[in-house]
Amino acid sequence: MDLFEILLIALGVSVDAFSVSVGGSFCSRGARWVRNACLAALFFGGFQFFMPLAGFFTAELFAGYVASAGNAVAFVLLCFVGGKMIWEGVKTKRKGPTPCGESEKLFFGGKALFVSGVATSLDAFAVGGGLAFAGKPFFLPCFAMGIVTGAASFIGVWLGARLGARLVRLSRRSGPALPDWLLLPAGGVAIIAVGVKILLSS
């Protein structure tokens, strides 16, 4: 396996983490996006490093199952995270104005990041199993998947924060300001859309 093939694999498994990072960061504001981006890079990059390792070493037991059912599991997990964000956004509207910074903690809390990290790295688990069955080396591909996904997640949070801020600015120019609470359901819908994409790709 040459470096080009390894890079292609790493880029392929990083797409879902990038998309989820964008959707989860619509409510990031100011300098907080840097902290959030580092958290996303740590969780998503870490999972994309360790999950293929786990897949490699447990190939005979679990990799085949994950390859067949992993997309459905990822769909359920991402729907859970996205649905919780939508519900909290609607609940926030009922209670009254809440700073977007408080709402963003829903996605960048440890539990949500853990669940999202598992959901977006199940394909990497299957890749690790595939490497084992093919008799390929595993450490460099796993390292590449972790690094590339970490970088993609960092960029995704930056992009999502910029998009969210731009949406608010545009709404203020064209009429009533877009309420912050609406960005949380928007991010939840984006995360669920990633889950649907994963499910349909099975």
Rounded (5°) CA angle 166-31-106: 80
**Boundaries of every domain in the chain:** 3-200
Contact indicator for 167, 3 with CB cutoff of 8 Å: no
List, for residues 60-80, the tens digit of each pLDDT value. 666 556 656 767 877 888 888
**Torsion, CA 131, CA 135, CA 138, CA 141, rounded to 10:** -60
Helices and strands (H and E) in the chain: how many: 7, 0
List, for residues 80-129, the tens digit of each pLDDT value. 878 877 877 677 666 555 555 555 667 788 888 999 999 888 888 888 88
pLDDT of residue 187: 73
How distant is the alpha carbon of residue 96 from its chain centre? 29
For helices 64-95 and 3-24, angle between their N-to-C axes, nearest 10 degrees: 20
Rounded to whole angstroms, the Cα distance separating 107 from 100 reads 12
pLDDT of residue 133: 74
pLDDT of residue 18: 92
107: which 2 tokens?
């996605």
List, for residues 11-39, the tens digit of each pLDDT value. 988 988 998 898 888 777 666 788 899 99
Amino acid residing at 142:
C
Q: Does residue 3 have a pLDDT over 60?
A: yes
pLDDT of residue 142: 93
**Torsion, CA 193, CA 123, CA 32, CA 93, rounded to 10:** 30
List, for residues 122-161, the tens digit of each pLDDT value. 888 888 887 887 778 888 999 999 999 999 999 999 998 8
pLDDT of residue 177: 47
